[in-house]
Amino acid sequence: MAESTDQRIQKLLRNKAKQKEADELEKKLAEEKNNERQATAEHVRQKWAIDTHVIAEILKDFEQKMSALELQLTFQDAGQRGDALAVGRITGRVSGSDLQVTLNVHPTGEIHAFQGPKPGHIQAQFTSPSKLSVLAADRAQYEALILDFIENCA
């Protein structure tokens, strides 16, 4: 037996109500995910603001501890660029060679490090030796990362 008009209308209304409920849930989940991403990005910004001072201190400490290498290093917080939430630049000289390192901090907190370009090369090369997150990074991890670059340049 075929459905009556009233049954078909009720079925249509139920299906529409289910679809609306599913759409609202999807929208709510998307908003929550976006809010979570924004909160993480804000936390990354705050932690990076602190870490920039730590990095600058490390460079000064290394200059003193490794004076035999004639280290001359500076750090600059270069703001936001492209996909990076923050960009930090370490520049200077190690044993007479130029050192240029760019730290790109992504909204997730992940740091991508690039060194270069070296003489004879056109482009900087990606040199992050391991995954480092600004959210978890401490002084020792930054020291190890920077020391890697100094060793590569020395």
Q: What is the DSSP letter of 124?
A: -
Assigned domain for 26 exists:
no
Structure tokens at 93: 């000289």
pLDDT at 81: 86
For residue 24, is it within any domain? Answer: no
> With contact defined as beta carbons under 8 Å apart, do 143 and 51 qualify?
no
- How far apart CA 106 and CA 153 sit, in angstroms, is 26
Q: Structure pTM?
A: 0.77
Residue 3 lies in a domain: no
Q: Which residues pair with 110 in a beta bridge?
A: 133
Running DSSP on this structure, what letter comes out for residue 137? -
| Domains contained in the chain, number | 1
Its domain, for residue 56, covers 37-153
**99 found inside a domain:** yes
Chain segment 104-147, per-residue pLDDT in tens: 999 999 999 888 765 444 555 556 555 789 999 999 999 999 99
Domain membership of residue 5 (yes or no) is no
**Is 136 in contact with 111 (CB distance < 8 Å)?**
no
Are the C-beta atoms of 86 and 48 separated by less than 8 Å? yes
